[in-house]
Amino acid sequence: MFIELLEKLFPNLNDRNSRQEVKNRLQLVLAHDRSDLTPQMIESMRREILEVVSKYVDLDADAMDFALENSSRVTSLVANLPIIRVKKPEFYTVKGEGISEESPMDDLPEIQIDEAAIGDLQLELEAVKPTNSEVSSEVKSETVES
Amino acid sequence: MGRVIVITSGKGGVGKTTTTANIGMALAQRNRKVVVIDADFGLRNLDLLLGLENRVVYTAVDVLSGQCRLEQALVKDKRRGNLVLLPAAQNRTKDSINPAQMRQLVSALGKVFDYVLIDSPAGIEMGFQNAIAAATEAIVVTTPEISAVRDADRVIGLLEANNIKKSGLIINRIRPKMVAVNDMMSVEDVTEILAIPLIGVVPDDEKVIVSTNKGEPLVLSGTPTQAGSAFENIARRIEGEKVEFLDLTVKDGFLSKIKSFFTKPV
Ligand SMILES: Nc1ncnc2c1ncn2[C@@H]1O[C@H](COP(=O)(O)OP(=O)(O)O)[C@@H](O)[C@H]1O
Ligand SMILES: [Mg+2]
């Protein structure tokens, strides 16, 4: 509380640190100045890189960071793309690329199971999935349209 | 051939002309033959800072147009005869001279003088192109402010692109008290960002204005000043001496002492 009081009395004592702020702003603007990349080029680079990466992993769109950085007169492109999950290889066997966000469960291929072979668990399974009579363990490679 | 050094910055008003006048005079005090060229055509100032404005008869443009010979245009300093000024034309624009003509002038002067210092105008257009055309070295002047540093960075890129390999950085108008409370970038901050060798740090000093008023570079004043010593040190570094940088850090003030007392881990 002493500190808080002091900082109220002397706002400059509190490092609201305009020095650090100006350094950060400078570094950002210089990275752009030095690179000679137009904002349009950076944006299409960002889009295309995301497209490629998204084929393999789901990204956290809100936490993504894509920026030019600079040190010792060398500019680097630094992308921080937090991965939510890796897309399972099976995904690629599913026909039709788009999985709708609203009801992803409906889009998954139907899995058949041999009820008789399991026996005891029959009751529980019945509650989940009253299936048709045909017995098959084959995974259908089709996406059900919702 | 003498050394040809352009003093440049990108942004105006950061201290190029002040630096040229003081370093020129400091080198002259070390008995070097020095010519300072005002390349700010249309906005000449260097004559004023050296107190030579009343003695300007001809300018660089008159030399190029054959109105006079080069020696006639050179204004000798009244205090130090080994310092001379080649004035810029005041009634012309920056287009009244081109890079090839600048090289012509400098190659003649370089035969006689140990140092040819070229005071560049602000900007990166024609006037800047002229100023750097004949130079083999550069001194980049900046203040610790975001816009000046950004412009300095641009200029450093252009110097590199124009094959000026040797550049030194001067950070002018530093205010140690502001740095101490984190309200101004420090020398280290700016040097790290611009990434060229530092050859001088000049504090913000009211005496600079007084010296401008008198037309008498600070390095001439009998009483030592912080900014004056800083310029003298820069001249020595240009000559290859190793000189410590002035200690401009503010010793811990009362307030920061109180603060560090309370923030100390118990
Ligand atoms: N270290 C300093 N301390 C205080 N004032 C300064 C300092 N350096 C330059 N100035 C002032 O800043 C103004 C611009 O300086 P000048 O040398 O003409 O800059 P430039 O040639 O880059 O336009 C002048 O009024 C000058 O007196
Ligand atoms: Mg000037």
Sequence-distant (6+) residues with CB within 8 A of A70 are: A27, A30, A31, A34, A76
User: A145: burial class by Cβ within 10 Å (0-12, 13-18, 19+)?
Assistant: exposed
> Which one is predicted more confidently, B176 or A15?
B176
Alpha-carbon distance of B92 to A100, in angstroms, equals 70
φ/ψ of residue A34, rounded to 5: -75, -25
Residue owning the nearest CA to atom 9 of ligand 1: B15
- pLDDT at residue A128 is higher than 60: no
ipTM of the predicted assembly exceeds 0.85 = no
**Cα distances (angstroms) measured from residue A45 to each of A31, A65, B190:** 16, 13, 31
Residue A65 alpha carbon to ligand 2 centre in Å:
42
- pLDDT at residue A3 is higher than 70: no
User: CA of A17: which chain B residue's CA is closest?
Assistant: B182
Residue B9 alpha carbon to ligand 2 centre in Å:
10
Nearest bound ligand to the CA of residue B127: 2
What domains can be seen in chain B, in order of their start residue?
A: 3-263 (3.40.50.300)
User: B41: burial class by Cβ within 10 Å (0-12, 13-18, 19+)?
Assistant: buried
Alpha-carbon distance of B191 to B170, in angstroms, equals 9
Alpha-carbon distance of B140 to B170, in angstroms, equals 6
φ/ψ of residue A65, rounded to 5: -140, 130
Task: List per-block mean pLDDT (blocks of 10 residues) for chain B, which spans 266 residues.
Answer: 96 98 98 97 95 95 94 96 94 83 96 97 95 97 97 96 95 95 95 96 96 96 92 98 87 54 49
> How does DSSP assign B194-213, residue by residue?
H-S-EEEEEE--HHHHHHHH
- Count Cβ atoms below 10 Å from residue B145 Cβ, excluding itself: 17
pLDDT value for A88: 73
Instruction: Please compute the mean of the pLDDT values over residues A50-62 and round it to a whole number.
Output: 88
Residue B40 alpha carbon to ligand 1 centre in Å:
15
| Domains identified in chain A, total number | 1
Instruction: Give the closest-approach CA distance of A52 to chain B in angstroms.
Output: 34
Instruction: Please compute the mean of the pLDDT values over residues A18-25 and round it to a whole number.
Output: 92
- Count Cβ atoms below 10 Å from residue A28 Cβ, excluding itself: 14
Most confident stretch, A73-87, A94-108, B4-18: B4-18
Cβ–Cβ below 8 Å for A33 and B153: yes
Alpha-carbon distance of B124 to B165, in angstroms, equals 18
Tell me which residue range forms the domain holding A46. Answer: 2-144
Instruction: Give the closest-approach CA distance of B255 to chain A in angstroms.
Output: 7
Q: Is the dihedral of CA A134, A138, A139, A141 positive or negative?
A: negative
Considering the entire predicted model, what is its pTM? 0.75
Q: Where are the alpha helices (DSSP H) in chain B?
A: 16-29, 46-49, 60-64, 70-73, 99-110, 126-133, 146-161, 176-180, 187-194, 206-214, 226-238, 254-263
Give the SS3 label for residue A98: coil
